[in-house]
Structures are given as C-alpha cells and as structure tokens.
Structure 1
C-alpha cells in the first residue's frame, strides 16, 4: 500500500505540481481555438438556438438534458471553495485568467464532444453510449488504452464523490451542529433512492433536469441582488481584477506567476475542458449532427466558469474587506454572503452547497456507469457500481480520506493526458464536421 501511495504522489507531483497538465491544456485550448476559428464566439447565437429547439426522439435524451448533465458534473463545491482559494492566494487578478482559460477551453470541449458523438455506440432505438474510451477503440483501435481511461475515470469519480459528500456534512455540521452521522445517513439514503428508483428514463437524468435549473436560478438570483445592491462598486471591482491580472502589486512583488497560475488552474479544474469528462454526457444526446452537441458542451464551459465561478468571485470581492480578512475557504464565503444578505447567508450557503454537491455526485455516477459499460456488458456490474457509489457517499460524509482525494487527482490526471494525446491528432475530423455544418447554416439562412 505504501508503494502505491508513493507512486500516486509521484505522478500527481509530476502532472499537477510541475504544471505539465496546465501547459498541455492551455496549449490544446489555443490550438483548438485557432483550428475552429473561434467557433465559441462566432457561433454563440446558434448554440443558444440549439438549446432552445431541444430536439430529440420520443424516448431520447435531448441536448438540453445533456447540458444539465454536463453542468451538474462541472458545477460542484469546487465552484465555491476553489474560487475562494484562488482569490485568497492569487488575489482578484486570478479571476481574469480563469475567464481567459474558459473562453479558450470552450473550443477544446467542442472538438472532443463532437468526436464523442461521431464514435459513439448505439444500444437501442434512441439510446447511446460513448466517450473517450469509445473514440480510442473505434478510431485508434486500442481498446486496452480505452479501458485504462475508463478505469482512471472511475477512480477519479470515487474521489470526487467523497469530496462532495464531505462538503455537505461539514457545511451542515458547522452551521447547525447536527450530528455528522445523522447527516451522513440521510444524505446517503437520498442518493440511494435516486440511483435505484424505477423510471422509463434514467432517474439521474430526470433528477438533474430538476436540480440544475433550480440551483443555478437560486444562486444567480442572490448574486444578481448582490450586484444590484453594490452597483456603484462594480466598476472598481472590474478595474481591480484587470489591474491585478496584468501586474499591479503582484508584478512589483514578483508574484505575477502566482496570480496567473491560480486563475488558470481554477479555470481548468472547474470546466474540465480537455479531460474528456464531458464526452460521456455528449455521446448520449439524441441529436442528428455531432457538431450540435459539441457546441452545447462548449456552452457548458462558459456556464461553469464565466457564470457560476464568476458569481462566487463577485460575492467575495464585493464584501467588506474587514469581513473577509483572515478567513479562507467556506468560512470566507459564508462571511461574505452573510455580509451581503444578513442572517440568511449561512442557510443559503448550506442549501446551495447541498445542491452543487448532490448534482455532481449524480453526474459522476452517471459518467461512471458509462465507463463500466465500456469495460464490460454485464448488467450486474451497474448494480455493484451503484452500491460502491453509495458506500463512497457515506464514507465521504463521515471522514476526510486524503489518500482517496489524491486518487481523484491521479485519475483525472491520467484521463487528461490520454484524452489530449489521443484526440488532438484526430481533431481535424471535428473541424471537417464544423465546416459542413456551417455551410448548411448558410444555405438555410439564404433560403429563408
């Protein structure tokens, strides 16, 4: 066990500590943005149109539903604690670099998700399975590498589930002093009911269709109130973000690298563009053209970073300095939100963290089920997998397991390396599909 721990720590230090993944992801994002001629900007209006149409067959999964699924996995407790940590360490300037990474990374998400639809597998009249493992098997003829990716993703999701579960129990316990064991039992039972409930459509998809719009609306309404009530402070905040991003005190002190890397890491870790995670969601959409789903997943990157992460940053940066000074993590966030909306701040932070964490757990549970199906077709494995998910939820609720959390970083790191190395060389296929789709759009507009 000690040898395994050392190997995992060594890999994590190499990939995350030496910023190898950061360089790979940024390089890929710039490359994809150039190759697609900035499709995330040029076709933004068309992307919104695709979501509005919400097309699918009678029992299929629509683009909007997979958008909710992808958003559920991207938007989690890290959108609060991670952003707060970035601001604490790197200052307001980190937010600018977080935005920059999202704007470029959307092109990466477009390419990988389009390829996921091209190389997915049909398993019913309107049901599909797909993702990076299927691309590797069908396009590169290397199933063994697809299995490695699938196993890495499952390892990652087990860690993510524990992190999210622990966030729920800690926030409720800190706010109201309720027994961690009682919280753990209640939360575990809730997740179990959702996973094993019977329905014509997957209960995870049905639940996320309700949770994601609700949690997004709830969070953004409060943030909108904060922005309106602090309207005169907005210009100063934005100016400060840009000033600190390009130097300011950090440049004079030689710490500009800290500002940039904190923002870049936060953006990359949060929106997942380049890891291949969202490919599991993209592949199951019942759409007639791969490009459409690629465009929807690109919007998911914007939603995660430019909207949700920015909302968290604004809550902290618009709070009185004396309120947040000396605080970090959830303590800083709760102090900031309480400064804005009074006593309601603490229960609000508990509720929003609950929704963020639950949606992420359900989302990665769905992704993991897809990964399991690539490794083996035995249906009993899905049942076993759900049992393991429930066990991980309970374990995560009652204790912090640093080793398991390191496993999550390890799994995500391996996934990202495999995904980028395999998909970049064949990215031209997604570009070709994009060109065909744009020609079709032009013809449709001419015929109107």
Structure 2
C-alpha cells in the first residue's frame, strides 16, 4: 500500500507540477486570443442571457432557465477550492500568489466558455432532456470514442467516490465541531437529500441549485466583503503587498 501511495503521489506531482498547469494555462491564453477576449467582450450579453426563458416546454421537452444552468455551473465552482486552495497558495507562494490567481482566473474564463460551448455543440437528445459534456465531444468532436468512455469512467469514480467523500466529510466535521451533531446522523441526512435531488434529474438539480447556490454565493461574497470592510484601512497596504510580491517564479508557480 505504501508503494502504491508513493507511486500515485509521484505521478500526481508530475501531472500537476509540469503537465496540467502548463497545458491549462496555455489553453487559456490560446482560447482568450482566438475568441478575441470573449470573457471581457461578452459580459453585457452574459448578464442579459441570465434573464432568459424559465422552464419552457415544447413537444414534451423539459428545459431549464439560463439562470438555473448558471446556478448548476456555479455550484461546482464555489466551494472548498476557493477557501482551502487560496489559503494554501498564499501559504506556499506568499501574498504575491494572489495576483497570479487573479490573472489565471481572468484567462481561465475563456476555457470555461469554450468547454461549455463544446458541450452545447456535441450534446445529444436524451429521454427527457439533452445530455452532453466532455465525454460526448471527445467521442463526437474528436472521433475518439475510447477517450470519451475512459473519461466517463474516471469522472464517475472521481465524483462518485473522491469529491463527494471530501465534501461530505467536511460538512459532517463542521457540523460536529460547531454544533456537536453526530457525524453519522449528518452523513445519513446528506445521503438521503442527495438521493432525492439527483434522482429527480437535471430539472430538480437545477431547481434546488437555483435556490441554494444564490444563497451560498451571496453568503460567501458577503462574508468576504465584510472582512474587507472591517479592515478597509489596511486595504491599500494589502494591495501594495500583493503587487510588490507578485513578480517571481515562486509566486507564479
């Protein structure tokens, strides 16, 4: 087991340190220029589209609104990584790491746009709604069915066992530490709620997300703004510290 863990750790270090980060950042820069800075150019259109159709049905088809689609997407982007990931980056790279997170976030928005566009281009009609995603555009766009199947298997294992375990463990530990609730009870409640939501299909997931995610995001932003406002006098010095410490290999990496 120790040998297996060391192998996994070594492979993970190579992938994240030398391959994935370089490829992801390279793609983000490429997409930004090829789309003519779509993440900035189309901000007005993005806001406008959030108010589009809500659950229209045509010929028995079920749809979700643009806002519900946005909420489902946002649910996967606001979470543990925004908290623990940022704290880890600052601890390792110093305050200058914040600057590079800003840059990468702005560039990475183009990757998110391209990813979502490909999902729309290569989606398929399912039983009650459309289905799509990376596995489908690997199969239909690249013509590599084996890659799509391989991705589907890996992502199912990742979300089904790894991500869910981390998130549910964090929730249970937080409830137990803050309020003294037995983690087994919280885990059981989470499981039941998850089953009820997921087996309702994308429509139920979208409905729940459109209620929970805005509250979650609003709470997240309000807390962050509150911290900034309570320390507003230190803000100029913080920004100066970030910029002054931004330019160096350690901070960027």
State which drifts further: 228-237 or 150-159. Answer: 228-237
* CA shift for structure 1 position 206: 1.6
Counterpart CA distance in 1 for 2:138 and 2:72 is 23
* TM-score under structure 1 length normalisation: 0.51
Counterpart CA distance in 1 for 2:2 and 2:93 is 34
Equivalent residue for 1:144, pick from 143, 146, 168:
146
Q: Superposition RMSD on alpha carbons, in Å?
A: 2.3
1:133 maps to which residue?
135
2:192 maps to which residue?
189
Q: Describe how 1:105-116 pairs up with structure 2 within 5 A.
A: 105-116=108-119
* CA shift for structure 1 position 166: 1.2
Q: Describe how 1:378-393 pairs up with structure 2 within 5 A.
A: none
1:52 maps to which residue?
51
* CA shift for structure 1 position 150: 0.7
Gaps of 5+ in 1: 247-255, 262-448
* CA shift for structure 1 position 222: 2.9
TM-superposition CA deviations, 1:274-333 (whole Å, max 9, x none): xxxxxxxxxxxxxxxxxxxxxxxxxxxxxxxxxxxxxxxxxxxxxxxxxxxxxxxxxxxx
* CA shift for structure 1 position 57: 3.0
Gaps of 5+ in 2: none
Equivalent residue for 2:252, pick from 225, 243, 260:
260
* CA shift for structure 1 position 5: 5.0
Equivalent residue for 1:68, pick from 43, 64, 71:
71
Structure 1 residues 21 and 141, CA, compared in 2 at 3 Å: closer, same or farther?
A: same
* CA shift for structure 1 position 12: 1.5
* CA shift for structure 1 position 43: 1.6
* TM-score under structure 2 length normalisation: 0.88
Counterpart CA distance in 2 for 1:213 and 1:151 is 31
2:155 maps to which residue?
153
Counterpart CA distance in 1 for 2:56 and 2:196 is 28
1:38 maps to which residue?
37
Structure 1 residues 121 and 33, CA, compared in 2 at 3 Å: closer, same or farther?
A: same
* CA shift for structure 1 position 207: 1.2
1:23 maps to which residue?
22
Q: Tell me, yes or no, if structure 1 residue 89 matches structure 2 residue 88.
A: no
Counterpart CA distance in 1 for 2:150 and 2:12 is 17
